[in-house]
A and B are shown apart, each in its own frame.
Chain A
Amino acid sequence: MNGKRIMFDCGMHMGYADHRRYPDFSRISKSGDFDNVLSCIIITHFHLDHIGALPYFTEVCGYNGPIYMTYPTKALAPLMLDDYRKVMVGRGEEQQFTNENILNCMKKVTAVDIKQTVQVDKDLLIRPYYAGHVLGAAMFYATMGDAAMVYTGDYNMTPDRHLGAAQIDRLHLDLLITESTYGKTIRDSKYAREREFLKAVHNCVANGGKVLIPTFALGRAQELCILLDDYWERMNLKVPIYFSSGLTIQANLYYKVLISWTSQKVKDTYATRNAFNFKNVQSFERSLIHAPGPCVLFATPGMLSGGFSLEVFKHWAPCESNLITLPGYCVAGTVGHKLSDKTTKVDVDKDTQIDVRCKIHRLSFSPHTDEKGIMDLVKFLSPKNVILVHGEIKNMDYLKGRIESELGLQCYYPSNNETVTFPTTHFVKADASASFIRSSLTPNFKFVKDVTTETAPVQVLDERVTQGILTMEKGQKLKILHEDEVLTITGTEHIEV
């Protein structure tokens, strides 16, 4: 942007286990001198697909420039990264970075608050806006000189039980880069979704089944847990709810501390009770996998890509009375993705095949905005150009069609390694003549009564700005003169511009 380079998010691909999971950093700089090439890195939130490669990039590749993220992201990211590192080690892979790397990386991070404007360097300004999605997620507004853009990261336009909806000012933008995970889905009321989920879980535990809820440690786990905890309270249910790992409980601790980043409701009730003090939740022990009786278990990771949730899945999936909920979006290659294709036999790894007989409930809770949300945001911001990222090609193509036809905006969805360029706003500095400034200070109405125009027969316009006339003389700076001045200079009676 105007000669500056900003890296928005530094994530990794969850579906790969080899070098392909990290971005190809060599495209930024062949020589490896990242510090001079990049102005800064901005991380929108702590999900691995947005932050996963950051320690690798800073510690292994050696980037030392500024990194910005919100306070909660800075607090929660090390947890997330360390968990990922442990999973990798657990799978017997070579670890790409150590815990020390993570901690060192975090030392380079500058934390920012919502709507706090940060002057990165002389020209570059950034400002985060609340994005919903997960705790601490933000959309980033960046201006470089006169060019302005917003990178949304992942966001959510409808509030949920623990997070608010995305919130941004009406800005003049040249470019909006928005995610489009659900580019082609319109979700109806969240109430119906909640009701279905609760019904499925309630039916399962009422019949003595076990419910496995694989989730990301942060975000959905808390959302669903608030929902279940409320429901348990209201229905006076006694079935235990478990949280699988220490991570999630530690994460709850962070949520309790970071109340100001949550939804209005949680903030309102905070005076009486912290909504994250779940009454019915206990921690899970491995021995309980085979314990009889119904229970509800939250386990990580979300897409059954390994770790504890997969282990429990292996045990519980063959039993018909059990229930497994799947997140709305699973990366291709994970067990979760295979399950969503309604296959009954799933190859968990090279040697094991699981006969899945349990019920499967697809969660349509998603912290991502839907098609309507994207359209609403684009319409609200009305930027000059839109770039769609973070979505499937066919969805983005569909959305591009809508944006272009309905809103009349330029829209792109570049694939990897593709470069898109477009002109940005460039304000020209011009001197203003004294009389123009004087006339600009006082309103000057012009009445238009035009019967021929359809729009509005009577219009009252303020004419003062249009009286300015831009003149360019050779060898001199641009100058704005008042209409009358131009008249006297040129000596004519009337000028048409």
Chain B
Amino acid sequence: MEQELFSNFEQTLKNQTKTSLKPFSVARSLIINPSTTDQTISSIIQTLSQNPQLHSNHVITLLSEISLVRPHFSATVTAVIRSISFNHPDILPRAAALALYTLVSLPLASDSDLIPAYSEMTEGLFLSLCFGSSVPVRHRLLLDAERFDVRPSILLTVFLGFTKDPYPYVRKAALDGLIGLCNRVVFKDGGMIKGCYLRGVELLSDTEDCVRCSAVRMVCQWGKLLVEISEDKSKRDSSDALYVQLCSMVRDMSMNVRIEAFNALGKVEMVSQYLLMQTLSKKVIEENKISGIFSGKHFLSQALSVAGAFLHGLEDEFYEVRSSACYSLRMPAIFSAELAEKVFGLLMDVLNDDSIVVRLGALETMHHIAVSGHLKVQEMHLHMFLGTLVDMNSSIRITSRKVLRLTKFDNMPMFKLAVDSLIHSLEMYPQDEPDVLFVIFGIGRNQGRFAASITEETFLEMEPCLASNWDFNSSRTAANLTLAISASLSHEMQQHLYIIPPTIFSYAVTMLGRISNGLTEVMDRSTLLSYLSHCSSSTGPHYIEAEDDVATEVNGQITISLVADPLEPHDLEYNNIKFVLADIAEIWQPLTKLGCTSELLTVLRHWKEELRTHITDSCQPDSILTFTLQYLRVMKLLSKAWWHTMCPLDPIYNRIWDVGYILQKLETKLRELRYRFIGLSKEEELHLEELTLVVCTLRLSIFYPPYHASALKKLFMYKETSTEHSRFLTELMKTLQKEESNPYNFREPLELFSLKQLELSRNLRWMRAELDIQIQDNDWVNPIPFVAGLPVGIPLKMKLHNTPAGTKLWLKMSRSTDVVHYVFIDLKEFEGFDEMREFKYMAPFYKTPKADSFVLVLIIGMECLAEEASCYRGYGPSHELVYLCKEKEVFFSSVKNT
């Protein structure tokens, strides 16, 4: 088959009279077939090389294909192609170009002696093709000139010559080649560089857009080279000349040329100030305003061509040009303060632009100015600038804040406006909070005096009612507190510190999490906390000598070293907790009445998180903290239940099961609060009792009849213990005595309920237990064996914390909801004291099922003796249980299996 095809190819190639692609396609099919033998391939090569002139194009295509598919033929192919392209000068230019491409893409033959001669040959071929009459080939070769290993000196000449080619794309390729050459090769000959540069300048007025585009880039590159090599004296002049040339292109009619022109303007490094000044004004600045170094006509022509270059750029129709102009404005902007001010003024108007890219570019240039220290915001600009803080686009907001952080404000109203705008933006975009707080902190530290007086103002309003108006969930509060903190850490003189009342720092503690989120770059949470607690603990005016210790600036990054903490951490926690408890009482009423349940829940959740940060050791929880957390949870549930019950808009009965579930949970939690904490004062107990009654009433107001009796009982128990009654209780009692069956009657007492502040006593102890099985890794794989029907003993290890002697504890063992078994735990058998008892115990379980395996859920519960006795029959607790530990699963497997 192979032979047949080959002979077919040979025959048709020999016999054909007119051009036909058939033999070549046959040859190609042979070449690309991997199973064709090398012998056939070499004969193909030979046949092809015999009469190349005929169809040189196809012959060379095939040869290059062979070199690709069969790399080991590349040497042969190289030799053949070489002989074709050098010995047959009359082959088509396209074929010759293809040959050249194939030659340079093939690996060089191993005999290294040939390399110089070889490269000379390719160079010759390249040149002869370039100077040939085929324009497409010339264009293509110029584009790829770098590949052909031509000596730079020759390449330069070729490029330079072809910049005058009649064909625009050849001119463009030549210019691009010159740009590439300028980057790759080091030129030292001034004359040559100037020649190239001037040729580029000449082509700036080419008729074709694409040529002008490349010319702008070329002039920029070679112009910079020219500036580099010129003598120090004339450096400035040649740089100015370059700038003028580039500026003259910003009014080109082609958008691409304009973009290139502005890009190039941004790259020039050294320009006279008067020229830069002129680029920012369309009117020619009068000569006498500038020192008369520059003589009339020369100066005028320069000024005319640069006049208003940037203005034109900024008001261009295309956003690409505008953003490029914004970028290149950086150069004049950092040149001098005077220029920076003008640039800033221009950029302010750009902030009005409709394109996000342009606005962002403008802001970034502003940031550049700010970094260089020339940023000076004027009052008339402030409004516009601060508008970007509430921009729709987040990256614009971020950049705008970056600029703002570096801004210096001259007076108080400006500073206040900035802070207000920041807070406003925070309210609109809460997701920006950390960054906004960081910026507030930054500007506050830079201008401590203003920050302090703002703090004074805002907090003065709040003080009389003791922060009762404060919404400790609002971003505004967080921002104000951050500002206060920043003022105290100001870079300025330290005496402002005393203006900030210490209570503010304690407020700040309640928002520690949010504030410290914003300040992560400056200090970590614990540092902030200790600083805050330090500041809040001192009363009255205090002079902190330690200020310098608090914040020492090292390399612009502030590291806060800790001042010796005078207080125990527990005190701090306690303070925190006190605040939280006070605030709950403060806000719960109005928020629930207004139906702002979701806001309330957020606040509560937030506090919970805040407090949770104090948990240092999860194994040794702090009792007060645990209580508060639990209390917060109760409040959350109560708020929810309240909303479901009392909210007039809500069709209650649609969600009755929701409420039932919430109430159930609420009761359990309340019971835990009531019984698991030892050392509750009378007030605390009454508080919890009242809450329990509220829950009862809530239940009554929905599910009236079945709960009536138990609620009444509770109420009477409560009556006995308490001395004074709240309005809620009195009203509730009246309602109960009326014996009416309308659930809505219970609404009335509920309306009167008001949450009192809970004052926690400090010697609270939390009762808890730890339950463990003595067998290691009890699981499905490693179960305890049992015999169905016979009791099984479970080896347990129990640890009890804070259990007083009279406590009645039960071990509840449940196999399923209905098979429950209780074992009484006798405290006398435990070793140790109330604080901590330990005990190893073999708990018996009698009701082993007739099954291969089962799981037993164990939990330790305490009997609530004060609760009414339940009607539980059989062995077990006679009152409701409160559980002291987490459930523990024990796995059993029948002996038969093991």
Contacts and interface: CB of A to CB of B under 8 A. Distances in A.
Contacts of B130: 443
B315 A442 contact: no
Given A165-B316, A375-B304, 17 more contacts: A158-B312, A159-B315, A159-B316, A169-B207, A170-B206, A172-B207, A189-B315, A194-B352, A372-B307, A376-B251, A441-B133, A443-B131, A443-B138, A456-B195, A457-B191, A458-B191, A460-B157
B385 to A, nearest CB: 14
Contacts of B315: 158-159, 189-191
Interface string A262-291: 011100010000000000000000000000
Contacts of A169: 207, 253
Interface in B346-368: 346, 349-350, 352, 354-355
A398 interface: no
B161 interface: yes
B311 interface: yes
Contacts of B283: 186, 188
B131 A442 contact: yes
B314 A380 contact: no
A158 B195 CA distance: 35
A47 B194 CA distance: 51
B301 interface: yes
11 contacts: A164-B317, A165-B317, A168-B253, A188-B281, A189-B311, A190-B315, A406-B301, A456-B191, A456-B199, A460-B164, A462-B162
A372 B198 contact: no
Contacts of B312: 158
Contacts of B251: 157, 376, 379-380
Contacts, number: 107
Interface residues of B, number: 45
B363 to A, nearest CB: 16
Contact of A189 (B132, B162, B314): B314
B133 A442 contact: yes
Contacts of B519: none
Given A264-B317, A372-B308, A457-B195, A191 B157 contact: no
B132 A442 contact: yes
Interface string A161-203: 0001111111110000000000000111111101100000000
Nearest to A451: B191
Q: Max chain B CB contacts within 10 Å: which of A187, A263, A445, A456?
A: A456
B301 to A, nearest CB: 7
B318 interface: yes
B192 interface: yes
Nearest to A372: B282
B306 to A, nearest CB: 12
A455 interface: yes
Nearest to B354: A265
Given A189-B349, A443-B162, A457-B191, A263 B317 contact: yes
Interface residues of A, number: 46
B596 to A, nearest CB: 27
Contacts of A157: 251
B161 A187 contact: no
Nearest to B350: A191
A195 B311 CA distance: 15
A445 B157 contact: yes
Contacts of A443: 130-131, 138, 161-162, 165
B253 A460 contact: no
Contacts of A168: 253
Contact of A462 (B164, B192, B318, B352): B164
A447 B156 CA distance: 13
Interface in A431-454: 441-445, 447
Interface string B629-640: 000000000000
B282 A186 contact: yes
B198 A456 contact: yes
Contacts of A459: 195, 199
B586 interface: no
Contacts of A167: 253
Interface string B330-359: 000000000000000010011010110000
Contacts of A441: 133
Given A406-B304, A456-B194, A191 B352 contact: yes
A460 B161 contact: yes
B146 interface: no
B504 interface: no
B160 interface: yes
A171 B160 CA distance: 25
A458 B317 contact: no
B252 interface: yes
A435 to B, nearest CB: 14
Contacts of B165: 443, 462
